[in-house]
Structure 1
Amino acid sequence: MTVEDPVTGSLNASLGQWLLRTGRAEAPYVAAQGTVIGRAGRVRVSTDDEGDVWVGGDVITCVTGQAEL
Structure 2
Amino acid sequence: MAYLASESIKALNPIEVTTDGKGEVIKVGLTEHTIKNFHAIKERLFDFFFRINMLKSTLMNLNLLS
TM normalised by structure 1 equals 0.27
TM normalised by structure 2 equals 0.28
Larger radius of gyration: 2
More strand by share: 1
More helix by share: 2
